[in-house]
Amino acid sequence: MISAAKIAGALGAEISGVDLARPLSPEEFGEIKRHWLEHLVVFFRNQNLTETQYMSFAEQFGEPIEYPLVKGIAGFPKIIEVKKLEHERVAFGGIWHTDTAYLERPPMASMLLARELPPHGGDTLFANMYLAFDSLSPALQKLLEGLKAINSSTKADASKTREDRIKTDGAGKQDFLAEHPVVRTHPETGRKALYVNSGHTVRFAGWTEEESAPLLKFLYEHQVRPEFTCRFRWQPGSIALWDNRCAQHNPVNDYHGHRRVMHRITLAGDVPR
């Protein structure tokens, strides 16, 4: 029997009672999907999948797509390694962000499978963007609902977290730019979520960067308040599946001198509305 245990008040649930190495029944898929939409990010333990099994699970959930800046692993172009090696100091994606918000059609979801882990540290934080929006004053909500934001793949802080991977594994330098609503409506739940992030958002459309900076700074700090977040401790074979339309994440970079290797699959999404 599939069951889900919440790991925090804001978001996140650990699902048990399912073996992802085999195809899901329609009932199992429906149950997992229901928990995912409710909790925004779900976690599975002890899922030591081959790359083929991992792709099969992803394909049941959505359409895997290639990551735009890093090449996939051998034989599986839609699985990328998210890794930090012993000599490296900067972690891939080591900043609060929503995955690839600089694309016209950002992904619906992302999933990570833990392959190699440090002896300690390397947890991932997640934050609930429904709560981030709901807790704002009505006046600020109204202002933000009328705005769009410019998101860039070359924002300095985010680019820095990808330097080593692009240098060693990358698909070449590319610049992506996209304009999205500051508040997006989830196409399945109908709920409103704050949709700016410190990794990719550079300014509001029609505003200068200087004009945008004070309000964006407030939003970046507000949306990751502790009561909006959860923290997941990885084990080999753990999988995290998060809804990129209403959740942000941030890998904690606290394991210098050790190796951490994860396999990531990204699932196609729609144009934010």
CA-based Rg of the chain, rounded to a whole angstrom?
Answer: 18
Which residue in the list 39, 99, 186, 263 is annotated as catalytic? 99
In a 3-state reduction of DSSP, which class is residue 221?
helix
186 as an active site residue: the answer is no
CA nearest to 245, candidates 79, 130, 138, 92: 130
264 assigned to active site: yes
134 catalytic? Reply is no
Q: Which residues pair with 185 in a beta bridge?
A: 192
User: Quick one: tokens of 75?
Assistant: 């034989």
**Catalytic pick among 35, 39, 97, 165:** 97
Is 97 annotated in the active site? yes
Q: Is the alpha carbon torsion for 84, 177, 211, 246 positive or negative?
A: negative
Please report how the helices 51-61 and 26-39 are oriented relative to each other, as an axis angle in degrees rounded to 10: 80
Q: Considering 39, 200, 249, 263, which one is annotated as catalytic? A: 249
87 Cβ contact partners less than 8 Å away, ≥ 6 residues apart: none
Question: 22 is written with which tokens?
Answer: 């085999």
Cα distances from 95 to residues 91, 126, 181, 268, in angstroms, run 9, 11, 21, 22
How many Cα atoms occupy the beta-carbon half-sphere of 19 within 13 Å?
A: 4
Of 39, 165, 203, 264, catalytic: 264
Catalogue the active-site residues: 97, 99, 249, 264
